Chain A
Amino acid sequence: MVAPKLIRTTAEWEHDMQGPSDFELSRRKMLLGTAASVAFGAAPWSADAQTPAIPVQTATAPGISMSKVSFNVNGRMRELALDTRTTLLDALREHLHLTGSKKGCDHGQCGACTVIVGGRRINSCLTLAVMHEGDSITTIEGLGTPDNLHPMQAAFVKHDGYQCGYCTPGQICSAVAVLDEVKAGIPSHVSADLNAPPQLTNAELRERMSGNICRCGAYSNIAEAISEVAGRPA
């Protein structure tokens, strides 16, 4: 497969703007799949589309504090020169074009930006990218692909654990990390005994997932998806 490029020339972009002619490419691409397809926009969507988009911004504007940072994202080292005010979330979304991590509030209130850093889930909007030198970061794109879903992603599809889909990557990253937290014996606010290994009861699961808001209200289905992956009844 030819690696799709993310940066388009002006000519290509103007071509897109002329309308439906840009659909041919993606329609052909979509036909490669085996499931009924949702089609949109101009470019094919695949995991390897996550090639770095824009060459690292090296230009320094006067009065802007720039810094280089390198970290591992989904198994690959990435080096960026960033305005030091750039959050990890914006580094992922705007600089690496990994838009699976969502910006719902930019204030750590909704959980849509949840990613896994060093094995722990964090709100990527509440941390600056330059604080993550050498870190290992897993985003939703690193868990699985449409053709090779992570078990948690597959369980969300099976149990309809989403609707609009905007909180979904954060819910899934959180859920994957929650199972690890329980395995690691980390207690929560509702753990009855801080010294006993926590069990992923429905109450534990709901408490631990409460940092991830789903306004569509798929909570009941999400709980079933997570419970299935954890091997417990919801």
Chain B
Amino acid sequence: MKFETAATTNPIDQLKVIGKPLSRIDGPLKTTGMAPYAYERHDVVSNPAYGYVVGSAIAKGRIASIDLGKAKAAPGVLAIITAENAGKLGKGDRNTAKLLGGPEIEHYHQAIALVVADSFEQARAGAELVHVDYVKAEGAFDLEAVKDTGKPRAPFGGPADTAVGDFDRAFAAAPVRLDATYTTPDQAHAMMEPHASIAAWNGDKLTLWTSNQMIAWGVGDVAKTLDIPKENVRLVSSFVGGGFGGKLFLRSDALLAALGARVVGRPVKVALQRPLMFNNTTHRPATIQRIRIGASRDGKITAIGHEEWSGNLPDGRAEGAVSQTRLLYAGANRMTATRLAALDLAEGNAMRAPGEASGMMALEIAIDEMAEKLGLDPIEFRILNDTQIDPERPTRPFSQRQLTECFRTGAERFGWSKRDPRPGRVRDGRWMIGIGTAAAFRNNLVVKSAARVRLDRSGIVTVETDMTDIGTGSYTIIAQTAAEMMGVPLEKVVVRLGDSTFPVSSGSGGQFGGNSSTAGVYAACVKLREAVAQKLGFNSAEAEFADGEVRAGNRRVPLAEAAADAGLTAEDGVEFGDLDKKYQQSTFGAHFVEVGVDAATAEIRVRRMLAVCAAGRILNPKTARSQVIGAMTMGVGAALMEELVVDKRKGFFVNHDLAAYEVPVHADIPRQEMFFLDETDPMSSPMKAKGVAELGICGVASAVANAVYNATGVRVRDYPITLDKLLEQMPDVG
């Protein structure tokens, strides 16, 4: 199915199942420990061997020699895989550094060996005995030091440099100006399930039970790396224990498990050790961002400029923190610039809302600062500069844009009018209280997605697609889509996901998965409805599918009859035309945060949080709300604690485990409030839905930062906002 014109009324609009706050259909499995994750497939793999990964102890240089003698002789060790004995390996299209390093080393903890043994304990003990001599080389590890060597690099969705009007002149002429620099640190996905895979060969065919967000990408990159036909690779990811972008790509666990299994002639399972993950895999790269805003005295933005510097391995991507600044606020004169320097840290890549999450951390503090300079309420300043058209291309409207409504609704619900705009004026005992707000903004992406739908004689509808559920609720919203389309109760739908033998879906990433994958299931169901109507002798345009029946006029036939003994199968997908070019499709929201800052110690506690979002039709308000509050939680982490600390001499992230890389815990997060505005977006897909999972994180950190400023009068522009950055400037309190 081609989606090329705005969606009109279709069976999804019945909203009998879609749009209901249903509990997840996989909930009973997840809460009882019965949902099997990649490393747990005892049902399909018996007698596996265990792999343990050895990571490089240097960041850059080469391996002079590896002594495997003692390790090979250790009890239970079956084989040791290194670049020397692995045979010729390619590199996946989506990998920047090699997944098995050696002799060249590209980053710290790059995998250099896999020790395979009969048991996990034996593999781990064997790995301890691998002795490596390195020749170290000088590397670049300090973004600040190398930023000016950065080259223009186009971020996702735009060129390296953008310009509209005459930014320099307009900025110079503006009566009110802000010129400030902000920094965001390297951050880790730190999903709870480590990257894990079981590999098994059957002749020249490889099956990988793995934890991956993008099944078809994974198949392609496994095939390319091993130089085998794609047809010989099967990936299965039935359950994924969190991804956040960290599991978009083939990683070393899967490749090494495959190599190990080939050598030992039996299945091999590998989970990346948690302390290895932070330097072995990808992370959200640090940024330095300069933002300049010029405005008239009445608060109209006349010039807005955003420059970004980030670093990555050669050939790596730029973060793209400027992207939202091209779209979020009006202003005739605009510029952005993206510069990328070479760094020898582990690969920087996508993490939840790549680009916008980092960019909004800076932009929405800048907007708060500018509002203060203008003496305007920060919400009124944003509304004053709202735009319903793409500010760079005035002929191009937003498909939907309810940013103002999000702020108005949020302000009302949060009690914004009670906020004292003068910093440091509100106390609650020892706590200095502050309230902050920020816009949420994230583009809506649409990606081709297919599915297969089968009706059987008992009236069961089975959906198969290689879509993944990484905690997003895909199982449930796909079941809802099929139930709505086929007119059956949810109980009559079976959903099978994450297997490369199923039709290729959008996969999970870039908040495109929910809308795109359900649109693909919609397309397959349209085809199945046609087949059913034909089989039962209905005119498919007139046939109504409801209550397990097909009806037209006064004739009604049970749906199951169409299946007969053989069953009825339909396969189709959605492909998107240029509606996302003709219309700017984005999602919007407003974040509100109240913090308390300890007057003596500057300890920061988040006391209240609210998000109001407008993101198209909400397919399941319960799971969508969870996406947003989860993103708000990750945003609190970004604001207050998350930072991969770089050892700038040795070149690695020092705090590479879950004790030292701090993420929010229960004690950090208050009861969260979240509301969706009513919206349907017919430009987005037949589902009229949009993404929501990444919108939720965009702007949270700056809302926290702005609240801290409101509480204390101390403006911190370098994340995370920790008490040491506040203490010296804290106001004297009696």
A positions within 8 Å CB-CB of B:
6-8, 13-14, 16-20, 22-23, 27, 30-31, 34-43, 45-47, 49, 53-54, 61-64, 83, 85-86, 90, 93-94, 97-107, 109-110, 112, 139-141, 143-147, 149, 153-154, 156-158, 160, 162-169, 172, 202, 205-207, 209-224, 234
With most chain B CB atoms within 10 A of its CB, the pick from A49, A105, A211 is: A105
**23 A-B pairs (CB sep. < 8 Å):** A35-B28, A36-B483, A38-B35, A40-B236, A40-B239, A83-B119, A83-B122, A85-B125, A103-B39, A104-B193, A105-B194, A109-B657, A145-B32, A149-B31, A149-B32, A156-B31, A160-B622, A162-B27, A163-B630, A164-B471, A216-B192, A217-B631, A221-B629
A2 → chain B closest CB, angstroms: 15
The reply to whether A6 and B31 form a contact with Cβ atoms under 8 Å apart is: no
A115 → chain B closest CB, angstroms: 10
The reply to whether A160 and B623 form a contact with Cβ atoms under 8 Å apart is: yes
Whether, in the assembled complex, B224 has its beta carbon less than 8 Å from a beta carbon of chain A, the answer is no
Chain A residues lying within 8 Å of B207, measured Cβ to Cβ, are 17
Identify the closest chain A residue to B620 (Cβ).
A160
**Which residue of A22, A109, A145, A210 contacts B666 across the interface (Cβ within 8 Å)?**
A210
The reply to whether A210 and B658 form a contact with Cβ atoms under 8 Å apart is: no
The reply to whether B25 and A217 form a contact with Cβ atoms under 8 Å apart is: no
Whether, in the assembled complex, B120 has its beta carbon less than 8 Å from a beta carbon of chain A, the answer is yes
Known pairs A40-B239, A165-B35, A219-B664 / 15 extra A-B pairs, C-beta < 8 Å = A6-B46, A31-B494, A41-B36, A99-B42, A107-B659, A139-B33, A145-B34, A157-B27, A166-B37, A166-B193, A213-B665, A215-B244, A216-B626, A217-B664, A220-B629
**Distance, CA A220 to CA B40, complexed state (A):** 29
Whether, in the assembled complex, B121 has its beta carbon less than 8 Å from a beta carbon of chain A, the answer is yes
The reply to whether B242 and A219 form a contact with Cβ atoms under 8 Å apart is: no
Whether, in the assembled complex, B725 has its beta carbon less than 8 Å from a beta carbon of chain A, the answer is no
* Known A13-B45, A17-B202, A93-B40; contact A102-B671, beta-carbon cutoff 8 A: no
B236 → chain A closest CB, angstroms: 7
B6 → chain A closest CB, angstroms: 31
A85 → chain B closest CB, angstroms: 4
- A-facing mask of B475-488, CB < 8 A → 1, else 0? 11001000100000
**Distance, CA A132 to CA B202, complexed state (A):** 39
The reply to whether B479 and A36 form a contact with Cβ atoms under 8 Å apart is: yes
Chain B residues lying within 8 Å of A18, measured Cβ to Cβ, are 202
* Known A163-B627, A206-B667, A212-B666; contact A40-B496, beta-carbon cutoff 8 A: yes
**Which residue of B28, B125, B192, B491 contacts A146 across the interface (Cβ within 8 Å)?**
B28
Which one, B59-67, B251-259, B270-278, B359-367, is touching chain A?
B270-278
**Distance, CA A83 to CA B462, complexed state (A):** 44
With most chain A CB atoms within 10 A of its CB, the pick from B34, B45, B273, B629 is: B34
Identify the closest chain B residue to A53 (Cβ).
B42
**Which residue of B32, B200, B631, B663 contacts A141 across the interface (Cβ within 8 Å)?**
B32
Identify the closest chain B residue to A167 (Cβ).
B192
The reply to whether B666 and A36 form a contact with Cβ atoms under 8 Å apart is: no
Whether, in the assembled complex, B634 has its beta carbon less than 8 Å from a beta carbon of chain A, the answer is yes
Whether, in the assembled complex, B205 has its beta carbon less than 8 Å from a beta carbon of chain A, the answer is yes
Chain A residues lying within 8 Å of B41, measured Cβ to Cβ, are 41
The reply to whether A104 and B658 form a contact with Cβ atoms under 8 Å apart is: yes
Identify the closest chain B residue to A206 (Cβ).
B666
Chain B residues lying within 8 Å of A153, measured Cβ to Cβ, are 28, 31-32
The reply to whether A23 and B496 form a contact with Cβ atoms under 8 Å apart is: yes
Whether, in the assembled complex, B516 has its beta carbon less than 8 Å from a beta carbon of chain A, the answer is no
The reply to whether B33 and A169 form a contact with Cβ atoms under 8 Å apart is: yes
**Distance, CA A8 to CA B194, complexed state (A):** 26
Whether, in the assembled complex, B490 has its beta carbon less than 8 Å from a beta carbon of chain A, the answer is yes
Chain B residues lying within 8 Å of A220, measured Cβ to Cβ, are 629, 633, 669-672
Identify the closest chain A residue to B48 (Cβ).
A94
The reply to whether B658 and A165 form a contact with Cβ atoms under 8 Å apart is: no
Whether, in the assembled complex, B472 has its beta carbon less than 8 Å from a beta carbon of chain A, the answer is yes
- A-facing mask of B119-140, CB < 8 A → 1, else 0? 1111001000000000000000
Identify the closest chain A residue to B125 (Cβ).
A85
* Known A90-B120, A105-B274; contact A157-B33, beta-carbon cutoff 8 A: no
Identify the closest chain B residue to A86 (Cβ).
B121
Chain A residues lying within 8 Å of B657, measured Cβ to Cβ, are 105, 107, 109
* Known A17-B202, A61-B118, A164-B191; contact A215-B663, beta-carbon cutoff 8 A: yes
**Which residue of A105, A146, A213 contacts B34 across the interface (Cβ within 8 Å)?**
A146
The reply to whether B36 and A40 form a contact with Cβ atoms under 8 Å apart is: yes
Identify the closest chain A residue to B26 (Cβ).
A38
The reply to whether A210 and B665 form a contact with Cβ atoms under 8 Å apart is: yes
- A-facing mask of B187-203, CB < 8 A → 1, else 0? 00111111000001010
**Distance, CA A206 to CA B121, complexed state (A):** 35
The reply to whether A45 and B491 form a contact with Cβ atoms under 8 Å apart is: no
**Which residue of A62, A86, A98, A207 contacts B667 across the interface (Cβ within 8 Å)?**
A207
Identify the closest chain B residue to A234 (Cβ).
B671
* Known A6-B43, A31-B458, A219-B633; contact A107-B497, beta-carbon cutoff 8 A: no
Identify the closest chain A residue to B630 (Cβ).
A217
Whether, in the assembled complex, B582 has its beta carbon less than 8 Å from a beta carbon of chain A, the answer is no
Whether, in the assembled complex, B240 has its beta carbon less than 8 Å from a beta carbon of chain A, the answer is yes
The reply to whether A140 and B121 form a contact with Cβ atoms under 8 Å apart is: no
A34 → chain B closest CB, angstroms: 6
In the complex, the 3 A-B pairs of residues with the closest C-beta atoms, listed nearest first: A100-B33, A217-B633, A166-B241
**Distance, CA A121 to CA B627, complexed state (A):** 29
**Distance, CA A31 to CA B492, complexed state (A):** 8
Chain B residues lying within 8 Å of A86, measured Cβ to Cβ, are 119, 121
**Which residue of A23, A97, A215, A218 contacts B42 across the interface (Cβ within 8 Å)?**
A97
Whether, in the assembled complex, B442 has its beta carbon less than 8 Å from a beta carbon of chain A, the answer is no
Whether, in the assembled complex, B234 has its beta carbon less than 8 Å from a beta carbon of chain A, the answer is yes
**Distance, CA A14 to CA B200, complexed state (A):** 10
Whether, in the assembled complex, B495 has its beta carbon less than 8 Å from a beta carbon of chain A, the answer is yes
The reply to whether A42 and B458 form a contact with Cβ atoms under 8 Å apart is: no
The reply to whether B665 and A157 form a contact with Cβ atoms under 8 Å apart is: no
- A-facing mask of B611-649, CB < 8 A → 1, else 0? 000000000001101110111111000000000000000
Chain A residues lying within 8 Å of B119, measured Cβ to Cβ, are 83, 86, 94
Chain B residues lying within 8 Å of A31, measured Cβ to Cβ, are 458, 460, 494
Whether, in the assembled complex, B23 has its beta carbon less than 8 Å from a beta carbon of chain A, the answer is yes
**Distance, CA A3 to CA B722, complexed state (A):** 56
Chain A residues lying within 8 Å of B244, measured Cβ to Cβ, are 215
* Known A40-B238, A217-B633; contact A165-B30, beta-carbon cutoff 8 A: yes
Chain A residues lying within 8 Å of B225, measured Cβ to Cβ, are none
* Known A99-B33, A107-B657; contact A36-B671, beta-carbon cutoff 8 A: no
The reply to whether B462 and A27 form a contact with Cβ atoms under 8 Å apart is: yes
Whether, in the assembled complex, B493 has its beta carbon less than 8 Å from a beta carbon of chain A, the answer is yes
**Distance, CA A217 to CA B189, complexed state (A):** 12
The reply to whether A214 and B23 form a contact with Cβ atoms under 8 Å apart is: no
B129 → chain A closest CB, angstroms: 12
**Distance, CA A220 to CA B610, complexed state (A):** 12
**Which residue of A8, A101, A158, A162 contacts B44 across the interface (Cβ within 8 Å)?**
A8
Chain B residues lying within 8 Å of A83, measured Cβ to Cβ, are 119, 121-122
Identify the closest chain B residue to A174 (Cβ).
B666
With most chain A CB atoms within 10 A of its CB, the pick from B31, B462, B471 is: B31
Chain B residues lying within 8 Å of A165, measured Cβ to Cβ, are 26, 29-31, 35, 239, 241, 471
